[in-house]
A = this chain, B = another copy of it.
Amino acid sequence: MNIRPLHDRLIVKRLESETTSAGGIVLPGSAQEKPQMGEVVAVGTGRVLDSGEARALTVKAGDQIMFGKYSGTEIKVDGKDLLVMREEDVFAIIEK
């Protein structure tokens, strides 16, 4: 089974805070909108501009990204917990 997000949407697998703190990033536990990390599973074909053309997304499948705690909508696919969000909700790409 394969999920193709529409336009500027992404499918993201959330990374646990414990895992990420080992890797170097520690997310504050009490902030109201806690940033989160995840790995991009699939991306849409691009944001549709006013002209009708699609602008390819910057984020790619496999990228590790940071986003706001309440960004996206939770879904379950093949038993895995995933998130659907827009590229607009992504703060940054993490490179190691």
- Which residues of chain A in 1-57 are interfacial with respect to chain B, using CB atoms and an 8 Å cutoff? 1-7, 9, 11, 23-28, 31, 33, 35, 42, 44-45, 47-53, 55
Question: Contact residue range for chain A?
Answer: 35 or more
CB-contact partner of A6 in B24, B28, B92, B95, under 8 A = B92
**Bound state CA distance, A48 and B49, in angstroms?**
10
Q: Which residue among A35, A49, A75 has the maximum number of chain B CB atoms within 10 Å of its CB?
A: A75
Closest to A69 in B: B73
Measured between beta carbons, the chain B residues less than 8 angstroms from A52 are: 49, 51, 53, 55
Q: CB within 8 Å of B: which residues of A?
A: 1-7, 9, 11, 23-28, 31, 33, 35, 42, 44-45, 47-53, 55, 58-59, 66, 68, 73-79, 84, 87, 90-96
A-B contact pairs, 6 of them (CB 8 A): A1-B95, A1-B96, A2-B95, A6-B92, A24-B78, A25-B75
